Chain A
Amino acid sequence: MLNFDALSTCLGATSCLVTQVTTGLIIGMLLFLVASGVTLIFGVLKVVNFAHGAFYMIGAYTAYTTYAVVGNYYLAVVAGALSAAVIGVLFESLMIRRVYKENLLMQLLVCYAFVLICDDLVKMIWGAEYLAMGIPAEFRVPPIRFAGGVVPPFYIFLVATSLLVAVLCLLLITYSRFGKIVRAAAANATMVSVLGIRVPLYFAGLFGLGCALAGMAGALAAPRAVADAGHGLVDPD
């Protein structure tokens, strides 16, 4: 609902502005991580990964368990990203690879099936009830007051991490050998394979990278949300 009075009052006050801007940043950065995974995959492989939400979920659940066992949030994030990557590579090489040439609806169907299976497996492993990870102890501190606004330190960490990962990804795709090969393969896969490069391997790797981003976003966001099965498909809204 639009409330222009509130908007104008808010724009006039620094405190409100600071709070709102950081709020926008935090939501934006997490969405950005998820979206960049989708874009990365779509840009190179020309396939829309409708099942991207499932990897977000996998990341969140793995992070939950890792945190419960190890008690270290940073390790939990890494574990979340890794598990999503591994399952992503499997998903690519066993299923998605077979429908690259098919029409959009066939790809959608494969993703839908994957999401259904993931949701039920998650339910079997973790149960259907919601799980809450809780804010890690190191971030259970009072929010920082800045120019009258309120900014939780945990969100500063989230935004910074997301930014860092984004920059790393950009560098990887632009400058690394992996990035160059993948981009070349996207332009002309046959030519690249003639040069003796195993293109399918690189495609699987790229798919895994995209999924890792989603898994990482899920793991990063895990402390502030409850994890529950059934949110695998990319929500249209």
Chain B
Amino acid sequence: MKPLTTVQCDCLIAFVFFLALLALGVIFPSLWLMDTLTALFASGLLAMSLHLLVGYTGLVSFGHAAYFAAGGYVFGMVLQANGFVEAAGAWSVPLAILAAFAATGLFALIVGLICARLSEVYFAFLTLAFQMLFVSLIQGLVEFTGGDQGLVGGIPRPVFLGIDLTESWDRYAFCAFLFTAGVLAIRLVTQSSFGYTLRMVRDNERRTAFLGVNTYRVKVVSFTIAGSVASLGGVILAIFTSAAYPEWASWSNSGEAIFMIMLGGLNSFLGPLAGALAMRAINDVTLLYTTHTDLAKGVVILFVVLILKRGILDYAIDLVRNRRAQADNERAKALHRRDGERVDTREDADAAA
């Protein structure tokens, strides 16, 4: 049998991952688990898409929540638009998702074109400024967005392909699908040659430019992809809450996404997801005992930063890798040293960087 290509392999894993999520829903048919996971899908996609910028492109965007919120708002506004559901019928939800994806992509493209020329701190603050602009836009256009009260009145979600998003199981499964698709998209980007160009830009932009790469374009494309994938997170949350709120685009939401990445691990692909999970777990476990969740969060973050000195997943991977390196060492000693066998994985190279 021919060995699978990377792309096929990733797709297969994604498929298995999706099945596992479905199985989880079947094995534990608790509404709480499904709701928690759905909320996690949303914040996970926000963090994972931001990771494409922070971890792979070296762009620290402080305004990523704007694209997340834009996804939710476009999705909701399209479906609430007069006559849309009647006209599109069973296709309204997929069309609305497509619209959210495309519109947010365009929005991110425009912001990216303006911001990508700037370096580090200026980039961070300009993206933040665009986010704040977006928030005031939402709050200003009361007729369309409901202002600070949010997009209320319920988002109509007609049945399509036999999927009824008002049913909790269907909703969970569909959100799991969207989530998996988003994560797979990011995975494919990071594993493509374009993904390696991103890492080069991150590690040494000037040198990359000398190699003839248009780094500006690379950054803009990366920014656009990250923005559109984040919009899927917003769509998930809009499906979940049947509404959209300006708080989704708040600066604290962007900040939280950055903290999730740092907490989970900057150097692992799934780090942000681990971070999102950890944040949620800290929150929920603390709530069993006391309402002081912030205190618990703060202490855990301090532990991670000051003691582990890297994200949780990075730490775990380093631990395993060290152990394996030790085992390798011993084997090598036993067999005498053979040359040229040690293969550094790309992830290794990433971690080293």
Contact = CB atoms under 8 A, between A and B. Distances in A.
Interface of A: 95, 98-99, 102, 104-106, 108-110, 112-117, 119-121, 123-124, 233, 236-237
A109 B262 contact: yes
Contact of B298 (A98, A120, A124, A237): A120
The number of chain B residues touching the other chain, given as a range, is: 20 to 34
Contacts of A237: 132
13 contacts: A98-B306, A99-B306, A108-B258, A109-B259, A109-B305, A113-B297, A113-B298, A113-B299, A114-B298, A116-B295, A116-B298, A117-B298, A117-B302
Contacts of B223: none
B350 interface: no
Nearest to A237: B132
A108 B304 CA distance: 13
Given A108-B258, A123-B292, A236-B251, A116 B301 contact: yes
B262 A113 contact: no
Interface of B: 54, 60, 62, 128, 132, 251, 255, 258-259, 262-263, 266, 292, 294-295, 297-299, 301-302, 304-306, 309
B292 to A, nearest CB: 5
Contacts of A124: 292
B281 to A, nearest CB: 16
Contacts of A123: 292
Nearest to B307: A98
Nearest to A98: B306
Contacts of A114: 298, 302
B306 A117 contact: no
The listed residue with most B CB atoms (<10 A of its CB), out of A98, A108, A112, A121, is: A112
A112 to B, nearest CB: 6
B132 A120 contact: no
A147 B11 CA distance: 76
Given A108-B258, A113-B299, A236 B305 contact: no
Contacts of A117: 294-295, 298-299, 302
Nearest to B258: A105
A114 B299 CA distance: 8
Which secondary structure dominates where chain B touches chain A?
Answer: helix
Which secondary structure dominates where chain A touches chain B?
Answer: helix
B301 A113 contact: yes
A95 B302 contact: yes
B53 to A, nearest CB: 12
Given A109-B259, A110-B302, 16 more contacts: A106-B305, A109-B301, A109-B304, A110-B301, A110-B305, A113-B297, A113-B299, A113-B305, A114-B302, A116-B297, A116-B298, A117-B295, A117-B298, A119-B294, A124-B292, A236-B62
A140 to B, nearest CB: 36
Given A95-B306, A98-B306, A236-B128, A112 B292 contact: no
Contacts of A236: 62, 128, 132, 251
A51 to B, nearest CB: 11
A102 B309 CA distance: 9
Nearest to B306: A98
A237 B301 CA distance: 25
The listed residue with most A CB atoms (<10 A of its CB), out of B132, B297, B299, B306, is: B306
A32 B295 CA distance: 30
B295 A105 contact: no
Nearest to A103: B266
A121 B251 CA distance: 23
A120 B292 contact: yes
Nearest to B302: A113
The listed residue with most A CB atoms (<10 A of its CB), out of B132, B295, B297, is: B295
Contacts of A113: 297-299, 301-302, 305
A124 B54 CA distance: 35
Contacts of A119: 294
The listed residue with most B CB atoms (<10 A of its CB), out of A95, A98, A105, A121, is: A105
Contacts of B251: 236
Nearest to B54: A105
Contacts of B292: 120, 123-124
A115 to B, nearest CB: 8
B154 to A, nearest CB: 31
A112 B60 CA distance: 16
